[in-house]
Structure 1
Amino acid sequence: MPPTASTASAQRASNRRRKSSPARRDDDAPLIPILARKVREVEAKAQRGKLGPTNRVKFQVIAFLVREERARVKSDESVPAGARAELLKRLDGVATILAKTAARDTSLIQLLEVDQATTPVAKRMRRDWLLESGAELAEDELIITDVAPVQTQVVPAALAERQVIPVQIEARRESNPFLAPDVALRAPSSTARRRLDGWELMGPLYKAFETGAGGSAASMELPPVPEFDRLSPKGLEIMPHQSRFLEAVRAGHRSFLLADEPGLGKTAQSVVAASIANAYPLLAVVPNVVKMNWAREVERWTPQRRATVISGDGGDIDAFADVFIVNYEVLDRHLAWLSSIGLKGMVVDEAHFIKNLTSQRSQNVLGLAARIREQVRDPLMLALTGTPLINDVEDFDAIWRFLGWTNGEKPGPELMERLDATGLTPADKAFYPEARDAVISLGIVRRKKKDVAADLPDKLVADLPVELDDDFGRSIRAAERELGDRMAAKYRRIIEARGDKVFRGEFDEDIVRLVAHGELEDSKAAGNGGDNVFTMVRKIGQAKALLAADYAVQLQRSVGKVVFFAKHIDVMDAAEAHFASAGLRTISIRGDQTTPARQLAIDAFNNDPDVAIAVCSLTAAGVGLNMQAASNVVLAELSWTAAEQTQAIDRVHRIGQDEPVTAWRIIAAHTIDTKIAELIDSKQGLAARALDGEQLDPTSSDSVQMSALMHLLRQALGTR
């Protein structure tokens, strides 16, 4: 365990004993094998996808320790010239791996330029590695303190000019110019050091979830179902799984990652939770598509409370409402007044939207959340998402920060107490299941439909391969072969430059990944120009459009209402034209609709028997909508993520559905479409391991695009 001030002398004595022990092979530079091991860990993580915050810090620390060690070796006259050359060669090897890793993720390049540890996490990491190497450190290097907290800046300078103050908000302030102080605000936390204060813990916490340590579902222990339902308004009934969550709120729990599978009533649970906790005024940050639905749910479940929807500059809001509902896109202009009206709670719906910490969307949400915690003790903080993990377990990062469980660099005080109480450290294998349980106990609630809603019908995803046997289909297959050949040529040039021979069916996985990554980056930069993985998938969607629409027509004639999902507007347009020619009445859900128009369309689909098919955008209609009037879904185009596909299907597979649900995926046979469907299915494993404790074989955390390109390249190398 890393030392504290009280054990510094003992550490130095231990270092001296180690130095007096028999000579080891790395006596001249014992730090080098540690750096070699650490850089391989970072390289392995980079090969599976983008690095998270913890491994980025590790990358940075390796970079400046390599420079420090090179300078030390060069200046150490006691090291023989031959040994010095060998040590410098080994350091160059570490530096080469750093450079290759930076080539995979170019955002790392700037970290190579940092020449010292600047953050407490980086300083602790440097200290621990040096101590592991047997180095003696000065007293000020052993004791590392955290930066003193400062009041959160909710409105960044770049957004200051965009801030608006609705007239009605001014009226609210004039009627009550002073916010009542919260006398129960928590006193400053104790400065007493804990046993784990010296350990880097974020990496081990992510690892505990990534491996599904403990094997149990990621859901905190909840109170039993109460004997009587005292919460439901007249005419409504809270389901048993919802009442258990609400009993936890009644017992005083105030921060939750509510990760129930889509369709289990997370919105209703949040609305009633706010009433139990008296967390008013409450802010709900939600996708634009569900703002009106949120207002309806507030009125439905808590009729004694008023909700107001913030649109544009907020000119028509009810400033004296109990619940303020705002979409992510307009939140940035309302930060100033929202941070000053004394919010007692905050809900973030579809919380995976904030996973990108560099985005303004994420910074806006996290800034407001931090300000609420500064002003109120134990505010109600709810992160709602049925798909908290999209590509990597570090997608948890932003959500944990929002809830106050961590600050991104280390656990918060409450989590640290629970980790410390385990009596274990990350060096102990038993630490990982205990650490996972500690995080879960803070408020992760995860229920699956099959576990909590026995009366909810089954869900089946059925694949329907279609043949693209016209000229369009042949041109798509030719473009795929051309792309594979182009990547194979790059692969062969790299191999031959290295002096190796290329054998059919044999390939170097590292070079395969390097070539595929380069192609993916070029494709992103090129947009829709030329043939690349994005343009090919779009062409496949166009080629499938009428086939998928025709199947939906036949399906509708036999089963009734159908929801038709597509990714691109031209595919939706072609489908709608086909439905019209078949005499079917449809509604459309698109991203450019106003909220009222979208809600009218949804209501028409659910309530008007003459509306046969809902034509929906995967991105605009994939979250928050209730369309359980249908029990069949047609996926005309495939998504790039398993989460997006699940969200789309669960617009139908929800509470209130009384029939089995079938999603029909239209897949273009003998094209990359088939591989993409397979990859999407494999991505379900990450959530199953991290959240549901299922013991599944680990799958790559590469994006579907990256994996698809690697597949095309291997195919080209294996057949030509």
Structure 2
Amino acid sequence: MTSETRTRFQAVALLLRTERARVLTGTERSEARRTERLKRLDGLATTLATTAVRDGALLALLSEDAVFSDEARTLARDVLRSAGIEPGPETAELEPAPAEPAAEPAAPKVVPQSVVSRQMANPFLAPDFSAARPATSRPTPLTGWELLEPLLRSFERAGAGAPACMALPEPSPRRRPDGPEPMPHQARLIAAAEAGHRTFLLADEPGLGKTAQALLAAEAADAYPLLVVVPNVVKTNWAREAQRWTPRHPATVVYGQGDSIDGFADIVVVNYDVLDRHSGWLGEFGFRGMVIDEAHFIKNKGSQRSRHALELSSRIRSFTPRPLLMALTGTPLINDIEDFLAIWEFLGWIDEKKPLPDLMNALTATGLTPADQRFYAAARQCVVDMGIVRRRKVDVAADIPARRIADLPVELDGPVGRSIRAAERDLARRMVTRYSDALAHRRGGEGSGVEGIGVEGIDHDLVRQVAKWEQKDAVNAAGGENVFGTMRRIGRAKAALAADYAAQLVRSAGKVVFFAKHVEVMDVAEETFAERGIRFSSIRGDQTPSVRQRNVDAFVTDPDVGVAVCSLTAAGVGINLQVASNVVLAELSWTDAEQTQAIDRSHRIGQTEPVTAWRIIAAQTIDARIAELIDGKAGLAAAALDGSDEEVGSSADVQHEALVALLTEALSAGPHAG
């Protein structure tokens, strides 16, 4: 077996593992699509294993403790980039990172030497498992009721003015002896921790300083040692923020196998992707507090990152009677109200089936059951009082200027524009044919089971089914025109126009943040800026944390760096780009939450100028429909958490709704409606 064969085999195995993890944790797929995708991946894995059985050397590469070479990681990453997929935080294990030793996705458990030294230096630092709080559940009038579903529905039913934030005490007037002073809204949460509250879903809008609040709350609660679990892209920033806000409590960052960590530090920062190999010693370390950043990352309870986060929380609660547990996210709801469940479980409010004692006791005290309509408002308040903290910028940070989203329609002329419109017509025509065939079969086809049933006008149920079929085919297709390919082509066609507009903004208004989804769009933008003599920083998913931070620092501190060219997935969370007040969205995200996160890299505490996000939209294409759909889903978090009367958006993903709109329009314009 040649080294080239070995590298290729490893790269395929790594891509399969990474893709499986991405599908499990993705936010864009319905459960049915996710299941179908996993089946296909399992089939490919079986084929790979069958091939490996013929060669013992290849079979060894599939073992759980196989070490992937840098060459294999580089090849896997190049395959993604050649397909136009920008590696994001969830594919960080593909990076041959020199600053963070490359490690296999399913590495064996490790115990860093400094952790062993800490345990040997002071055996009393070991956790006292006898301190575990005993369960206090007793039969109540609510015993036997299904309660998790009513609790979720209680947030959907919230009307205007329903509180979305627990009562917080007024902060004490004393000043901190070291470090910067928190803002008033931050100080109120810290005061709650100081008064003894220990669980928080901190869902402040992005830009209100959740990192600082978590660090200062841990200091107020003396929750050390503190475990902080974060996306890979922001762990360096967490260490910096700890040095800034709580300088008396040293922080250490876990990289790779953990060889460089300080086992005696008060704050341990680790990214989701390496929890598997470190979960053993982390569970035995004796943490008195745990923070998860971007907590919506754990919303899929079947994912590895979610399982490890929940296990660690359970372990900490087993030996610390009242640990500090904080879930931080500016976008707690991505697609569905069910996104709450994993976060509530992490905080110890519920388990998989029912509320745990503290929440159950609060619900029981209402004297109501789900059979009483008054239960829902009371139950929602009980959950909020467990520790939901949600503040909006407009309410608590009046000094942050306004933000607005401005759409800039662009006409795609010439051969490129004509080819995109032709591709859309082909896509619509294919769906119309599929619809017509299915409708004919329904009306009179043999074996249909619904023979003879007529449909007046457009059968909207069938339209949605055809859109699902098309969506499924698009996910599984190796090539051909589909909604994903069309959006990618539109992104490429808009790239130069978006970059040109960003260049104009740099000349007239100063620094600009430029967001794109696909690597080729970023490439075109950077070529445009280079041609115009505009210096830029590039923030991509295939960079190591140290390189990414260096590029962020260059944009923030160097007045000659005019543009930050950012991957929507890699730079959309956890970094501070407030030196810019103009954001250009060259490509649309699939969710309002992702779009908001990107804009709020600039619209945050410290911003002194109004922030404008310029969405570049290809007029008269599916791009415009998707922009409308994204805006329509913006009400989900507003209705559930902000007490808005705005209707909660459908849980169906934007891709499906875009196909529904495209097919409906085509049917309305043609002779297929009857």
Q: TM-score range by the shorter chain?
A: 0.7 to 0.9
Maintained 8 Å contact 2:582/2:614: yes
CA change 1:286–1:303 in 2 (3 A) is same
2:388 aligned residue: 444
Maintained 8 Å contact 2:350/2:356: yes
Secondary structure of 1:442's aligned partner:
helix
List runs of 5+ in structure 2 lacking aligned partners. 1-27, 40-103, 445-451
Looking at structure 2, the residues matched to 718 and 174 of structure 1 have their Cα atoms a distance apart, in angstroms, of 75
Residue 370 of structure 1 aligns with an amino acid whose one-letter code is S
CA change 1:305–1:356 in 2 (3 A) is same
1:246 Cα offset (Å): 0.6
Looking at structure 2, the residues matched to 589 and 381 of structure 1 have their Cα atoms a distance apart, in angstroms, of 31
2:114 aligned residue: 168
Looking at structure 1, the residues matched to 303 and 564 of structure 2 have their Cα atoms a distance apart, in angstroms, of 32
Residue 638 of structure 2 aligns with an amino acid whose one-letter code is A
CA change 1:325–1:105 in 2 (3 A) is closer
Maintained 8 Å contact 1:214/1:433: no
Secondary structure of 2:325's aligned partner:
strand
Looking at structure 2, the residues matched to 164 and 108 of structure 1 have their Cα atoms a distance apart, in angstroms, of 29
Maintained 8 Å contact 1:505/1:719: no
Please list the CA deviations of residues 191-231 of structure 1 after superposition, one character each: whole Å capped at 9, or x if unmatched.
Answer: x31000111111111111122257414111111243x1434
Matches for 1:158-197 after TM superposition, within 5 Å = 162-178=108-124, 179=126, 181=128, 185-190=132-137, 192-197=138-143
1:108 Cα offset (Å): 14
Residue 120 of structure 2 aligns with an amino acid whose one-letter code is E
Please list the CA deviations of residues 120-139 of structure 1 after superposition, one character each: whole Å capped at 9, or x if unmatched.
Answer: xxxxxxxxxxxxxxxxxxxx
CA change 1:514–1:160 in 2 (3 A) is closer
Matches for 1:626-705 after TM superposition, within 5 Å = 626-705=576-655
1:572 aligned residue: 522
Residue 164 of structure 2 aligns with an amino acid whose one-letter code is A
2:262 aligned residue: 318
Secondary structure of 1:409's aligned partner:
coil
1:210 aligned residue: 156
1:189 Cα offset (Å): 1.3
1:368 Cα offset (Å): 0.8
Secondary structure of 2:521's aligned partner:
helix
Higher relative contact order (CA 8 A, sep 6+): 2
1:617 Cα offset (Å): 0.4
Structure 1, 533-542 or 179-188: larger mean CA deviation: 179-188
Residue 421 of structure 1 aligns with an amino acid whose one-letter code is A
Maintained 8 Å contact 1:517/1:706: yes
Residue 508 in 1 paired to residue 459 in 2?
A: yes
Residue 383 of structure 2 aligns with an amino acid whose one-letter code is V
Please list the CA deviations of residues 57-96 of structure 1 after superposition, one character each: whole Å capped at 9, or x if unmatched.
Answer: xxxxxxxxxxxxxxxxxxxxxxxxxxxxxxxxxxxxxxxx
Secondary structure of 1:665's aligned partner:
strand
Q: Could you say which structure has the larger radius of gyration?
A: 1
Structure 1, 529-538 or 161-170: larger mean CA deviation: 161-170
1:383 aligned residue: 327
CA change 1:540–1:502 in 2 (3 A) is farther
Looking at structure 1, the residues matched to 477 and 356 of structure 2 have their Cα atoms a distance apart, in angstroms, of 43
Looking at structure 2, the residues matched to 478 and 578 of structure 1 have their Cα atoms a distance apart, in angstroms, of 27
**Number of aligned positions between the proteins:** 571
Residue 552 in 1 paired to residue 512 in 2?
A: no
Please list the CA deviations of residues 269-302 of structure 1 after superposition, one character each: whole Å capped at 9, or x if unmatched.
Answer: 0011111111111111111111111001111111
2:271 aligned residue: 327
Looking at structure 2, the residues matched to 447 and 267 of structure 1 have their Cα atoms a distance apart, in angstroms, of 15
Which runs of structure 1 show a deviation greater than 6 angstroms over 4 or more consecutive aligned residues? 102-109, 500-505
Looking at structure 2, the residues matched to 103 and 412 of structure 1 have their Cα atoms a distance apart, in angstroms, of 32
Maintained 8 Å contact 1:213/1:432: no
Maintained 8 Å contact 2:583/2:612: yes
Maintained 8 Å contact 2:495/2:521: yes
TM-score by length of structure 2 reads 0.82
CA change 1:505–1:387 in 2 (3 A) is farther
Looking at structure 2, the residues matched to 596 and 719 of structure 1 have their Cα atoms a distance apart, in angstroms, of 54
List runs of 5+ in structure 1 lacking aligned partners. 1-47, 52-101, 110-157
Please list the CA deviations of residues 605-657 of structure 1 after superposition, one character each: whole Å capped at 9, or x if unmatched.
Answer: 11111111110000000001001111000000000111110000000001000
1:230 aligned residue: 175
Secondary structure of 2:284's aligned partner:
coil
Looking at structure 1, the residues matched to 551 and 346 of structure 2 have their Cα atoms a distance apart, in angstroms, of 34
Looking at structure 1, the residues matched to 655 and 177 of structure 2 have their Cα atoms a distance apart, in angstroms, of 46
Structure 2 counterpart of 1:220, from 166, 189, 192: 166
Maintained 8 Å contact 1:504/1:719: no
1:155 aligned residue: none
Maintained 8 Å contact 1:229/1:238: no
Residue 314 of structure 1 aligns with an amino acid whose one-letter code is G
1:176 Cα offset (Å): 2.4
Maintained 8 Å contact 2:131/2:319: no
Secondary structure of 1:498's aligned partner:
helix
Cα RMSD of the aligned pairs, angstroms, is 2.3
Matches for 1:126-525 after TM superposition, within 5 Å = 162-178=108-124, 179=126, 181=128, 185-190=132-137, 192-213=138-159, 215-226=161-172, 228-231=173-176, 233-234=178-179, 236-499=180-443, 506-525=457-476
Maintained 8 Å contact 2:132/2:317: no
Residue 360 of structure 1 aligns with an amino acid whose one-letter code is Q
CA change 1:573–1:427 in 2 (3 A) is same
Residue 230 of structure 1 aligns with an amino acid whose one-letter code is R
Residue 648 of structure 1 aligns with an amino acid whose one-letter code is A
Looking at structure 2, the residues matched to 49 and 645 of structure 1 have their Cα atoms a distance apart, in angstroms, of 17
CA change 1:49–1:320 in 2 (3 A) is closer
TM-score by length of structure 1 reads 0.77
1:541 aligned residue: 491
1:526 aligned residue: 477
Looking at structure 2, the residues matched to 509 and 367 of structure 1 have their Cα atoms a distance apart, in angstroms, of 44
Percentage identity across paired residues of the two chains:
59
Residue 392 of structure 1 aligns with an amino acid whose one-letter code is D
Residue 513 of structure 1 aligns with an amino acid whose one-letter code is R
1:405 Cα offset (Å): 0.7
Looking at structure 1, the residues matched to 565 and 33 of structure 2 have their Cα atoms a distance apart, in angstroms, of 42
Looking at structure 1, the residues matched to 33 and 533 of structure 2 have their Cα atoms a distance apart, in angstroms, of 55
Maintained 8 Å contact 1:213/1:436: no
Residue 518 of structure 1 aligns with an amino acid whose one-letter code is W
Looking at structure 2, the residues matched to 105 and 212 of structure 1 have their Cα atoms a distance apart, in angstroms, of 32
Residue 431 of structure 1 aligns with an amino acid whose one-letter code is F
Residue 117 of structure 2 aligns with an amino acid whose one-letter code is A
